[in-house]
Amino acid sequence: MTGKCNIVFGFFYLVLTAALGPVMVNNLADISTAQAGKQSAMAPLQLAADSDFENQETLEPMTDGEIARANAKALLALNTQLNSLVPNTAIKGGPHAHGNLEALLNIAVGLVLLVLSIGTRFKQAISVIFIAGTLLHSGVLYLGVVFGMGWAFTVLGTGIGPVLILLGLVLAGIASAIGIPNKAK
């Protein structure tokens, strides 16, 4: 029964974290719009720089105000473009990648637990450690990054989750060493 819990949890959690892929694709339109805005704001600044900051209409040197306005527009457009990248980067590097990996780890551990000849309590401990580690690592990332619940980082942190997953891997290795029956002939 213990391995089954990890397998079921792993598949449902994989659906939850894999669903972030379409969310990231939807953000591509915002990124493309911001990129176009950056290009149109940078073009006049590039033209001014190429012409030694001469006004193209009057061929007079640009005033400090004209240069400042061109710089400000370019910087704001660049900032907008960079900010449009933040959600995708945060999702991709956090809950999406870690969640998918941890879901697959739960499925793998669940399958291993089904065939091991070890005590039930040892199996249950490994099972609980993996599920708790997943929820306290990528689950917290999911709450904080996807849903914007910054309190999750403060209250739950993300340090204990990876430690639990590593502990679970060590315990699963020990359980495998002692619980896989030898079928030598």
Mean of the per-residue pLDDT values for the chain? 75
Q: Is the pLDDT of residue 80 over 70?
A: no
Rounded Cα–Cα distance for residues 56 and 10 (Å) = 63
Residues with Cβ within 8 Å of 94's Cβ and at least 6 positions away in sequence, in order, are 138, 141, 142, 144, 145
Residue 11 in this model has a pLDDT that exceeds 60: yes
The model's pLDDT over 107-155, given as tens digits with 9 standing for 90+, comes to 999 999 999 999 999 999 999 999 999 888 877 777 766 666 666 656 5
pLDDT for residue 30 is more than 60: no
pTM of the predicted protein model = 0.61
pLDDT category at 77 given cuts 50, 70, 90 is: low
d(CA 47, CA 101): 48
pLDDT for the residue 16: 82
Query: What residues have CB less than 8 Å from 76, skipping those under 6 apart?
Result: 41
The model's pLDDT over 33-67, given as tens digits with 9 standing for 90+, comes to 656 665 666 666 666 666 666 666 666 776 777 76
Q: pLDDT at position 160, please?
A: 85
Return phi, psi of residue 125, to 5°. -65, -45
